[in-house]
Amino acid sequence: MRAQFRRTSGPWPGILGLAIAALLLNPGAVPAQGTPGGVACIKELQVPMYTFVARQSLAGGTVRARITIGNSGKAEALSLDSKDPDLKQEVRLFLGPASFMANCAGKQVLLLFTFRLEGEPEPKPPVFVWFKGPNEFVIVSRPKSPALSADNRGRKGAERDGLARALRD
């Protein structure tokens, strides 16, 4: 079985890809329990990355995703369970285009996505993703600091604004 991965932009480490590849290349590492397919059924999946949607949730939390795989290799049904609607929406956006192994049609995959905001706010906070077997992704970022307005950009910003006004007048 050959695993295919598409690298997405972002600062998260390649360890995630290696963990998924190890599971795909060693299906015995995923417990077989009747109809559940486990992560061995995942062909391609982009992990949620704390976009503006998830950042609306200040508390973070966990989303439990149950995916039923259709004959086309796409999700036939997607059930999301979480107390936070913003985190559910974030996961829904990223799981929509996922693809699965053709021989897993009719099986279900259960994935957990845990979101945490930690540390001091930053203008462009990094996002880190860890895979915790057998089926959990932990997505961690720092809070995003508010955008600077004209009133709090400092002396140079005020000087530029004054110069721009002088040139317009």
pLDDT tens digits along 107-119: 999 999 999 999 9
Q: Taking the model in full, what pTM does it have?
A: 0.68
Residue 3: pLDDT above 50?
no
pLDDT tens digits along 79-103: 999 999 999 999 999 999 999 999 9
Cβ-proximal residues to 31 (8 Å cutoff; 6+ apart), any chain: 38, 134
pLDDT tens digits along 61-77: 999 999 999 999 999 99
For the domain spanning 15-168, the CATH number is 3.30.2420.10
The domain spans of the chain are 15-168
Phi, psi dihedrals of residue 24, rounded to the nearest 5°: -70, -35
